[in-house]
Structure 1
Amino acid sequence: MKKKVLFYLGILIAWFPAFSQTDNSVSAITEAREQLVRKNHEKSYVSHILTGKRYDLKYRGAVNSQFFRDIYPSYGTLVYDGVFFDHIEIQLDIYQEKVVVLLESKNNEQFVTIDNEKVSELTFNNYKFVHIRHDSIMSDGLYQHAFQGKHSDTFIKRTKLKKDKIENTKMIIEFVPLDKYYIKNDWGTFAITNKKSFLKAFQNSEAVVSIVKKNKTKFSKKKIENGLLKAVSLLDPLLIDN
């Protein structure tokens, strides 16, 4: 492709004396060059520059904040429109389900929200999120990929609800976590809400019943996440290929 570009540039340079007589000719050369660059850019499958809409922090002082884990951005990685971005400042607003990144230029820097549809994967602080699409159980969107095994994966849909309340005549905004848990394995995708649904995800096998019983795994509302991740990490190596 490099030789082809040089060939066309050679033609344009050869044409230059003929076009240099008038301003219109110069414009024609400039336009031809731009079209050539654009054409070769499209053929090379290079992604367009990372862009987004300005992100304003609207809920200062809120209880828990709208972000996942930390109110401050962390350095992480991002796969956006097929392009890998390394060491980029990133946050995840799970109330609005928006990926927030810091864009820097020579004279300016600002936090922006980017197009979720173009986000395939992001990581920060040892957390990994992936974009799930076209699943029969999980709706399209970003999920934490909390466990990845040979036979099973655990995904968590991280969301927060905003609650407004008045205390001593002062309006208080609180963000309350509302997480949903899923297992994707050799038998399909399963929503996990309690012990019964977890056992069902693994066909009520003797191995899964034994592990849950032996480890006294709890699936109560407050303990379901720890119990689920511990149980599936112990169970996955015991599963055999279909």
Structure 2
Amino acid sequence: MRICTLVIFFSFCLTLRSLAQEVAATEPSKETAYPISLYKAATSQSQNLYNGRQYYVYDNRSEEHQFFEFRKWHNGVIMYDGQRFDSIPMLYDIFKDEVIIKHFNGDHILLQSEKIDYFYVDNHTFERLEAGKDISEQMRTGFYDVLYNGKTRTIVRRVKQRQEKIVDKMVIALYPQKNNFFVRKGDQYYGVSSKKSAFNLFPEYKRELRKVLKDQKIKYRKNREVAIVTIVETYDKLARP
């Protein structure tokens, strides 16, 4: 009877030791606890960024594409839900006016546009502006490329339209791009298309503005974007008190 009791006691001790080893194995050691805590802190900040719907690339075999500048991923900066994220692989779908980022696992994540304050990619800064609040009521809410951020601001709405053509009985998608320019003078935004409409915004300096374009050999029709920015920037210098 005594021997049986001893056997049971030692068996119980071995079971407790085994359980203790299992618990110790599941708990992080002192060497790994700190890196794990850093990882959790970093990922907790980015969880909201990668919490969007999956984006599926359409018309990926077409000659033209729906994205800004390039079809390939480019690292950029984004201000999302009040937090800034750097070196984020992203695409800007101009046709749908949507921003897409690449998840760690390779998935394409569609961000919520209303949570984006701005994003910077390919040396362009896009701000999300709301009609009737940040811009005029007749302008469309969405992302605008900030070309010149002086006292007299210059922005452009870059859009693409989807068109189709049939080649060898196959439907090919085309995405011609159109740029709509706006200049803020005072508290009002004005649409600018022709050279005349640009000069009419600053009637008191027409002669000086024409001279600047001529001296710098800027042809309005060939390079409208540079011409508009040059006109507005020159006006700010001339009108400076």
Say yes or no: TM over 0.5: yes
Deviation readout 1:29-82 (Å, 9 max, x if unpaired): xxxxxxxxxxxxxxxxx8971221111111112233100001111111101111
Unaligned runs of 5+ in 1: 1-45
- Give the letter for the 2:213 counterpart: N
Between the aligned partners of 1:240 and 1:58, the Cα distance in structure 2 is 49
Question: Are residues 201 and 48 of structure 1, via their aligned partners in 2, closer, same or farther at CA, if it must alter by over 3 Å?
Answer: farther
Tell me the TM-score normalised to structure 2 length. Answer: 0.72
Letter aligned with residue 224 of structure 1: R
1:49 corresponding residue in structure 2:
48
* Residue number in structure 2 paired with 1:210: 208
Q: Are the equivalent residues in 2 in contact too, given 1:47–1:82 (CA < 8 A)?
A: no
CA 1:174 to 1:47, structure 2 compared with 1: closer, same or farther past 3 Å? closer
1:70 aligned residue: 70
RMSD, matched Cα: 2.1
Q: Show CA shifts across 1:118-154 (max 9, x none).
A: 11000012110001122225321100011112x1111
Q: Does 1:132 align with 2:123?
A: no
- The gaps in structure 2 that reach 5 residues or longer are 1-44
8 A Cα contact 1:187 1:201, kept in partner = no
- Any conservation in 1 of the 2:64–2:173 contact (CA below 8 Å)? no
Deviation (angstroms), 1:183 = 0.7
Residue 148 of structure 2 corresponds to residue 147 of structure 1: yes
Aligned ranges 1:94-173 → 2 under 5 Å? 94-104=94-104, 108-133=105-130, 134=133, 135-136=135-136, 137-149=138-150, 151-173=151-173
Identity of aligned residues (%): 24
Aligned to 2:41: none
In the alignment, is the contact (CA less than 8 A) between 1:63 and 1:175 conserved in 2?
A: no
8 Å CA contact retained: 1:152, 1:185 = yes
Structure 1 counterpart of 2:89:
89
CA distance in 2, matches of 1:209, 1:175: 38
Amino acid at match of 1:94: I
SS at match of 2:88: strand
Take 2:146 and 2:54, find their aligned partners in 1: how far apart are those partners?
A: 27
Provide the aligned length of Structure 1 versus Structure 2. 189
Tell me which structure has the larger Cα radius of gyration.
Answer: 2
Q: CA deviation at 1:169?
A: 2.5
Secondary structure of 1:234's partner?
A: helix
Q: Could you tell me which residue of structure 2 aligns to residue 80 of structure 1?
A: 80
Specify whether residues 110 and 47 from structure 1 end up closer, same or farther in structure 2 by C-alpha distance, changes over 3 A only: closer
Q: Is the 8 A contact 2:153 2:183 kept in 1?
A: yes
Change (3 A) 1:184 1:173: same
Secondary structure class of the residue paired with 1:225: helix
> Matched residue of 1:144: which SS?
strand
Change (3 A) 1:187 1:198: farther
Amino acid at match of 1:118: K
Bigger mean CA offset, 74-83 vs 187-196: 187-196
Supply the distance in 2 between the matched residues of 1:228 and 1:182 (Cα, whole angstroms).
10
